[in-house]
Chains A and B, each alone.
Chain A
Amino acid sequence: MPYSADYIKNKLSDKLDTLHVEVVDESDGCGGKFAVLVVSNAFVGKPLLQRHRLVNSVLEEELKEIHAFSQKTLTPEEWEKRNA
């Protein structure tokens, strides 16, 4: 089943305490390749692997179909620094 960038974005916003979510569909519409940027309080104090595991767990079902997935996970503080 193909997923849309909006669907992924809504699910991540729903399940994680997010400040900001960007989802880019890199699959030319077939719904199998996505890049996401997630800014969430849930990442505070967590090492990178744990953050990515958290995102993976939210999209557990979807990742069975999505064959290419890249993610950036930032805390609100890191996100602010990046935009400063």
Chain B
Amino acid sequence: MFRTIRFASLVRNFATKPEEIGNLVKGNKVVVFMKGVPEEPRCGFSNAVVQILRMHGVQYNAHDVLADEELRQGIKEFSNWPTIPQVYINGEFVGGCDIMLQMHQNGELIEELKKVGINSLLLETAKEADNTKK
């Protein structure tokens, strides 16, 4: 009897986890799973993503996978992506550090942010520079 109960609770635990992660990725227009926190990233790749989002002036939710081993494994399975950091825009997985860097460099990130109603700070500063020229 005792064993049955323990087993049941274990199963329930696993069943709710993807659902919880599903809610987490929709918690904000931009959601980041990283090592450390934005104020103190604990990995160069996570830091790169934080710096990129800072340049674009994006408000986002950040989750520290080092603080929660279950989340660390769970998010990898959820996205079918083997590494951290992971960036979600509008609940959709966008990619890791390499993809964010490339999207930042080719201007795609500005477009993706615009689609969800976020005006990139880089766009604003570019406009201002343009206006002063005129």
Chain A residues near B (Cβ < 8 Å): 48-49, 52-53, 56, 60, 63-64, 68-72
Contacts and interface: CB of A to CB of B under 8 A. Distances in A.
Nearest to A72: B98
A69 B83 contact: yes
B94 interface: yes
Contact of B80 (A53, A64, A68): A53
Nearest to A57: B80
User: What DSSP secondary structure best describes chain B's contact surface?
Assistant: mixed
23 contacts: A48-B95, A48-B99, A48-B102, A48-B103, A49-B93, A49-B94, A49-B99, A52-B95, A52-B96, A52-B99, A53-B80, A53-B81, A56-B81, A56-B82, A60-B82, A63-B82, A64-B82, A68-B43, A68-B83, A69-B83, A70-B45, A70-B98, A72-B98
Contacts of B62: none
Contacts, number: 30
Interface in B15-72: 43, 45
Interface of B: 43, 45, 80-83, 93-99, 102-103
Nearest to B84: A67
Contacts of A71: 98
A49 B97 contact: no
A2 to B, nearest CB: 17
A52 B95 CA distance: 9
A64 B76 CA distance: 11
B11 to A, nearest CB: 25
